[in-house]
Structure 1
Amino acid sequence: MSNAPGESGPPNPTNPTIPGPKIDGIEITQGIQYYKSDMHLTDPSDQKNDNSVMLVASKPAWVRVYVSDFSGSGGITVTGELIVERNSQIPPIWKRVDDVMGPLPSETISVSSVFDYATVRSDISSTLNFIIPQRYLSYNLRLRANIWQVDGGNKNNPDATYSSPLFFVMLRQTLRLRGIMISYSGIDPNSGPPPTTMNLDAPTTEDLQTTAAWTLTANPVQSQGSFSSAGTMDWSTPLTGIATAPGGCSTEWINLTAAVAQVKTNDGNRTDVIYFGLLPIGTPIQNVGGCALNGVSIGLNRDQVTMAHEIGHAAGLQHAPCNVPGDTNYPAYEPYDVKDTPNASLGEYGLDINNGNIHLPSAKDYMGYCFPQEWISLYHQKKLTDNKNFGREQLELSVSPIPGLPDPFVWPEYFQDPSSEEPNPGDIKIKPQNIISIIGIYNKNGQIEIQSIMRIFTLPKITGAVETSFEARLLGSKEEILSKGPLMRLETFGHECDCEKEKNSKNSEGPFAFQVIMPDVESGNSLNIVDTLTGNDGGQIVNEIWTRSATKSPPKIGSFSVEVSRDKGLAKWEGEFSSPYGIKFSLQFSKDKGRSWNSLAVELEKNEHQFNINEIPVGDLVFRLLVHDGFLTSYKDTQTVIPKHPPIISILNPNDSQKLISGRPMRLYAIINTATTPNLKTINFHIWQIDGRQVGDGGEGLTNDPLETWVAAPGTGDHECTLIIGYEDGKSIVTSKFTTIDYNR
């Protein structure tokens, strides 16, 4: 589960009597790593063994070989090799990995007779660098580095050899991201008068994947994420209001919380994914830059660092203490911080595996609010390792390939209770059931504003919520309680909140969004919400603050159909729909005959809805129309075959508007998402091009593996990266743009 302990140890020269270049040690890193930490961290409690940051499976690693010149002459030019051996079974059979890349960016380095720790660690040109591809980062690894002088040296008789301890790479973590795709159709507050209307389309799963590039790179997760859509929702109000309390959210953000809660409920309230609401570029946002909403992270399309920040919250991270109240356990890394005064420092040297860029220990963690939010710290790296929110899996030694990712459109046998801290679910199992969901706003005047009442098959748990003193009840004809459930305050945290303090608060002062989930046992005669108070005599006083009578009869659905034309689907329905509380429609689909239900759309008011079939799986699907009349829900199913369509492909590096250093290593990195095309298991070929010139031919491959290779970044200027992928039914071409600059700039 963890890397082998121990210091790097002394070099092991082949000819110890002859002064010359020596290997001081190696560093193997996927983002941040300890290496001779006692040479820069002054607090002994911060110092750790070399390479003691745990590696995760299926993510590439850089190996830096540190070389010194014991002869004192200086100016020696050396090169070298890295031999990587891997074992995946018992009894062990070690096999050499043939396609380790390096040395990069240059095949040689000039070794100085004067060793300066900070200079060497902060510049990859000072070390011999090798890259182990993600497909070999698993199970047991052992490394051996050999170096020899360019002038007069001999690869077969190296000047120095260094053998590493064993590395046990047995933890695989996966970013499982479920996108809530939000369109915006509302006023532009910066236009007019009179203000104009903006119509911004909802982002797509491809956008979700591209926006997650930085999260996949910086965090301890495998390179291949699981991405899927929880459908779309419309939004029409600018997010420009003032926070209702210091560090809080505006009324507009709180209303968005209630809307997002409906999507989650329609999607099963799943606990095996991280929900992320993706707003289109250009959505009006002012005053409150963003909020954490009801266990749903939210941000703008292509805002990669903000996504990482919000996903960090979803994975249990608090803010790093820098210009914002933060985690009280975050350490002060001396000498980069004043003693006992943490300031969001990284604590060690970070390395971006996409390009070799070094992040200094004094740089700031992305969970703080000192800018730039540069990288992940030692502290947060540890907290995100073996993290239940990242689909953690402990690998077992086996000759069989590592299993692929589960189908995001099929529910697992059971879900883990989100309130449980157990590393393994064991007997802590929850399953979907028929429930009544009540979603609304408790306003600042103490009044209830109902947004949605649904009867639906979903998980009976609400993540990211705090129980209040209020309770909702379903009453029978004799006012007897048929079912009940607590009113849960849906968490909304502004970026400058003291989040941990707020999470522990039972405060029921408005405004806040809320949700009630209670068993759906029968139709009932009325619903109410009560507040139970304690009287002066110690007795309970039940105060009813909201009530609603049953509608006369459930909605009657006449016809429901789903038709497909090219890349669009059209759902249409007719029936007898009337209610004093208004009628709302929602859509779901299932690929396993009704066992798992996936959200397609919510809060619909018209009798039809068009959707993009590329966002849902191919094959036989069951579609469900749900009609909510504010008290009862009716539904009707229909079956439709979704025809074949291309997989969802994203180039994650280089990505749009990125600036890279000319001549430095550049990772060409893409993922093929076949969740919507599950029968596509292999590709026939893939070709990388830079500015129309072929730079990499990966040949055949499995679709559940990311596509990656490293090349030298081209000369300074603007460039286009193209990926061409061929498969059984055709080919796909995707592109991204990037810019290279000179190192001295």
Structure 2
Amino acid sequence: MKLARLALASLFLAACTTEVIKVDANGNPVGGGGSGDNGGLPSAPKSPAAKVGITQIAVFQGVKVPVVADGARVEERNAPIVAGRAGLVRVYVSPAEGFTPGRIAGELTVKGADGKEQKFRDTRGISRASSDATATSTLNFDLPADAFTVGATFSVSLTDDGGQGFNASQAPVRYPAGDAFDDLGVQATGVLKVVVVPVKYDADGSGRTPDVSEAQLGIYKRTLMGLYPATDVQVTAREPYPWTTAITANGAGFDQILNAMVSLRRRDRAASDVYYYGVFVPQTSFESFCRRGCVSGLSGLVDDASDSALRASVGLGYEGTESADTMAHEIGHAHGRPHAPCGGAQGVDRSFPYKGGTIGTWGYDILSKQYVSPEEGTDMMGYCDNTWVSDYTYGKLFDRIVAVSGVNQGIASSASAQGSQGGSPYRTFTFDGNGVPTSSETLSLAEEPKGTVSEVDYLGDSGGVVGHARAHVYKYDHLEGGIVVVPENAAPYASLRVRGLTRVMNVKGLLARH
């Protein structure tokens, strides 16, 4: 993980004056809201807006997703629109010839699959064409999570709110034309579930335990909720986990505590859709630990969504947002995301579409309601500052969340089989950049792991082959080395010869400890 990260770029705050009106399938208001003589609805704008056109409509739930461009529906979206997640809808307008600056009233109607409508209204002074960089140049509609449902349709209309410069004889400006509605293209996703494991660090005799108060858990949740395309984020804390092995700034000990979290997750019989995240404080402050640079987190790169046994990561657990940023990055690796090409990260995603690991399109924090410029923001999977999430990473995270939620029933047995009973016996070995094994844990899995497949020979004390099987290798994100998962061998063995690794792994000492 990078050494430090600047705070979110606070570029522009969208000042929404959105009125929200809910109506039933017959158009009758539901509940309160609004004013005037139209059954509780605000009075309709006086005349249609003239000499302006709708050039673009975009949804912001984390990243900008255009849904209408140049008067037509955008068929190939750059990122998903997420069901059950709050968001901002921006309507971009462009004055035509003869336009005189004035105020525009906009109405966004969202109709659920059940026929119930929600109406959102905003008024805005318009003097020039809308732009991404000027929040007040667009009509902005702040939508709650329940407005984004699968099957929802929408329409937008613009009218004069009584100011000068508009001609009442002009036809209404509306998308789509007439009385039609367009499909918003909302897709279902799931909940991101994280169990934070506070590691009681006793390698120096201090017994330091990181902060897992409600306030710090709230920081973790808020950070993940802003970046991940989930309907919700659940962050809970487990009881402290004792640890006596040194963890140092150069990365020593990180692999061993990561392997311990993999094993702990199995012993806890965690559900298949739950991510474990171990946090620790090896020194009294982040500054003292990282004063000459440091590794701040570690995770295996889990390429397959059904590989639930490896849903574990670790990172520094100092108070504040820095540790939360590390968590978002490391859990990204557990979601199968490689590094973005920024800041000298190793193992970068060669398919990443934006030069320098930038975010590619405008970002938007649904909680702080702040924008992030694509020219200054960098992807959270890189090593640079001013991080947010690119539309590319956002879409990939969405795919993984959907897959984890979707396969949950199919691999439900794996969750219980990871306990001490049931399933087939496996053993994990961590190894460093020189191929030297550093720790070992046991696993019981209902399904074969999905890491990179390699052949493994089990060798006896004399060096002869006493068994052969398929191994699965998971490379680390920030350190050389990784984790190899092998089936337990019937015959005793002293070392492993794994194809693709440069040396034979002498594991006899590690096996003797278990």
> Would you call these one fold, judging by a TM-score over 0.5?
yes
Deviation at 1:292, TM superposition (A): 1.8
Change (3 A) 1:390 1:512: closer
Give the 5 Å matches for 1:126-525.
126-152=137-163, 160-163=173-176, 165-187=182-204, 197=206, 199-201=208-210, 203=212, 207-208=216-217, 210-222=219-231, 224-229=232-237, 231-242=239-250, 250-268=251-269, 271-279=272-280, 282=285, 284=289, 286-293=293-300, 295-301=311-317, 302=321, 303-323=323-343, 324-325=345-346, 326-332=348-354, 342-362=355-375, 363-373=377-387, 375-387=388-400, 391-393=404-406, 414-415=411-412, 433=422, 436=425, 438=427, 459=446, 467=454, 469-471=456-458, 491-494=475-478, 516-518=486-488
> What are structure 1's unaligned runs of at least 5 residues?
1-12, 40-47, 89-93, 188-195, 243-249, 333-341, 395-410, 419-428, 474-480, 498-510, 535-541, 550-580, 583-629, 631-745
Aligned to 2:4: none
Contact 1:415 1:430 in 2 (8 A): no
Which one-letter code corresponds to 1:518 in the other structure?
E
| 2:358–2:390 contact (8 Å) kept in structure 1 | yes
When Rg is computed on C-alpha atoms for both structures, the one with the higher figure is 1
Q: Deviations over 1:455-503 (max 9, x none)?
A: x866565566765635389xxxxxxx8x9976765643317x7xxxxxx
**C-alpha contact (below 8 Å) 1:34/1:49 kept by paired residues:** no
| 1:130, distance to aligned residue in structure 2 (A) | 0.7
Query: Which runs of 5 or more structure 2 residues have no equivalent in the other structure?
Result: 1-44, 301-309, 461-465
CA contact (8 A) 1:268 1:457 kept: no
User: What is the CA–CA distance in structure 2 between the aligned matches of 1:414 and 1:36, rounded to whole Å?
Assistant: 35
SS, match of residue 174 in structure 2: strand
Distance 1:449 1:127 in 2: 57
Letter in 1 for 2:58: E
Query: In structure 1, how many angstroms separate the alpha carbons of the residues matched to 2:510 and 2:414?
Result: 31
Q: Aligned to 2:117, what secondary structure does the other structure show? A: strand
1:258/1:70 CA distance change after superposition, 3 Å = closer
For the 8 Å contact 2:103–2:126, the answer to whether it is kept is yes
Q: CA RMSD in A?
A: 4.6
Q: Is the 8 A contact 1:146 1:160 kept in 2?
A: yes
SS at match of 2:200: strand
**1:217 and 1:175 mapped to 2: Cα distance?**
12
Residue 161 of structure 1 aligns to a residue whose secondary structure is: strand
The 1:29/1:544 distance shift into structure 2, 3 A limit, reads closer
Tell me, in whole angstroms, the C-alpha distance in 1 between the residues paired with 2:254 and 2:157. 57
Alignment of 1:77 with 2:107, yes or no, is no
Change (3 A) 1:390 1:489: closer
Partners of 1:240 and 1:543 in 2: CA distance: 24
String of CA shifts for 1:704-724, please: whole Å, max 9, x gaps.
xxxxxxxxxxxxxxxxxxxxx
What aligned pairs does 1:338-737 form with structure 2 within 5 A after superposition? 342-362=355-375, 363-373=377-387, 375-387=388-400, 391-393=404-406, 414-415=411-412, 433=422, 436=425, 438=427, 459=446, 467=454, 469-471=456-458, 491-494=475-478, 516-518=486-488, 527-531=492-496, 546=508, 630=514
Go from structure 1 to structure 2 and tell me whether the alpha carbon gap of 1:112 and 1:387 turns closer, same or farther (over 3 Å shift). Answer: same
Distance 1:144 1:533 in 2: 59
**How many aligned positions are there?**
430
Equivalent position amino acid for 1:354 in 2: L
Give the superposition deviation at 1:211: 0.4
Q: Relative contact order (alpha carbons < 8 A, sep ≥ 6): 1 or 2 greater? A: 2
Supply the distance in 2 between the matched residues of 1:138 and 1:299 (Cα, whole angstroms): 35
How far residue 316 of structure 1 moved from its aligned partner, in angstroms, is 1.3
TM-score by length of 2: 0.68
| Paired letter, 1:546 | K
User: What secondary structure, in the 3-state scheme, does the structure 2 residue paired with 1:181 have?
Assistant: strand
Asked if the contact 1:271–1:415 (Cα under 8 Å) also holds between the matched residues in 2, the reply is yes
Partner Cα distance (2:359, 2:225) in 1: 18
Secondary structure of 1:494 counterpart = coil
Q: Structure 1 231/15 Cα, relative in aligned 2: closer, same or farther at 3 Å?
A: same
**Distance in 2 of aligned mates of 1:150 and 1:56:** 32
More strand by share: 1
Write the distance in 1 (CA, Å) between the matches of 2:141 and 2:333.
33
